[in-house]
Amino acid sequence: MKRRRKKTAVKILLVEDEVGIATMIRRGLEGANHTVEVAHDGQIGLQMAEEETYHLVILDVMLPGRDGWSVCETLRAQRNRVPILMLTARDSVRDKVRGLDAGADDYLPKPFDFQELLARVRALLRRDKIHRTSLIKIADLQIDTLQRRVTRGGNEIKLSHREYDLLEALAAHEGQVLTREAIQERVWMNEEAYSNTVNVYIGMLRKKVDADHKIKLIQTVHGTGYTLRVPDPLVTEPISEATS
């Protein structure tokens, strides 16, 4: 009887056009109990990474459709923080720097030994698990930054990509005032945005996050910007009789 090994929940996207190498990596990673999905084209790989949540992306540089640099840059521009390990035949310092500039987490020149790849994969998964705060909780608001999922009072709130980015930016700085400029820089980055864009998005976010709730978490700080926090009277410690 064939022994079936249970797969771990770790899901890896492998974008590699050389079928032989892709098969070798996939089999090896499956042997380490990971689930692996393969794309042989950069454009398809990018679409898969946009549509699915992976724990890690292994990304070849020279790809048909769209090269690995561009896939990596595009994902980072979308604020996708999935760990990315780049594979390339080019072992020059310049290419390595370019890969890291594009937002890759690590870089492995070809040809490589599979055990070396596996060691890098393990290190990246471990590092990601340690560094990523996956759940932000403020009052009854919960933000799962891994799944980009938001609930309030246990009910899921559907947000657009931008609305989510805006909420996460505010929540990650709970209690701090973020100016409109700081928000614009964080959420819209270098893109052109109208001067009232932030206000408009705050309005939409309030409708979805605060409108049906007594406690309003998104607050305007006049002349300055916005903050997300539990309103003051609710965080004030009750005065203890024993200390008075």
The count of C-alpha atoms lying within 13 angstroms of the C-alpha of 225, restricted to the half-sphere facing its C-beta, is: 18
- Looking at beta carbons only, is 61 or 218 nearer to Ca ion? 61
Residues ≥6 apart with Cβ < 8 Å to 88? 60, 61, 62, 68, 95, 99, 107, 108, 109, 110
Of 14-22, 25-33, 190-198, 204-212, the segment contacting Ca ion by CB under 5 A is 14-22
Q: Is 146 in the site for Ca ion (CB under 5 A)?
A: no
Q: How far is the CB of 37 from Ca ion (least distance, A)?
A: 17
- Chain positions 103 to 142 lying near Ca ion, rule: CB under 5 A, are none
Residue 68 interacts with Ca ion (CB under 5 A)?
Answer: no
CA-wise closest residue to 38 among 55, 51, 25, 53: 25
Count of H helices and E strands in the chain?
A: 9, 12
DSSP single-letter state for residue 18: -
> Which amino acid type is present at position 157?
I
Decide if 58 contacts 71 (C-beta within 8 A): no
Q: Which residue among 29, 39, 56, 60 contacts Ca ion (CB under 5 A)?
A: 60
The verdict on 41 binding Ca ion (CB under 5 A) reads no
Nearer to Ca ion, 60 or 105 (CB): 60
Residue 62 binds Ca ion (CB under 5 A): yes
Considering only 17, 128, 185, 210, the residue that binds Ca ion (CB under 5 A) is 17
The residue among 17 and 37 lying less far from Ca ion, judged by its C-beta, is 17
Residues forming the site for Ca ion (CB under 5 A):
17, 60, 62
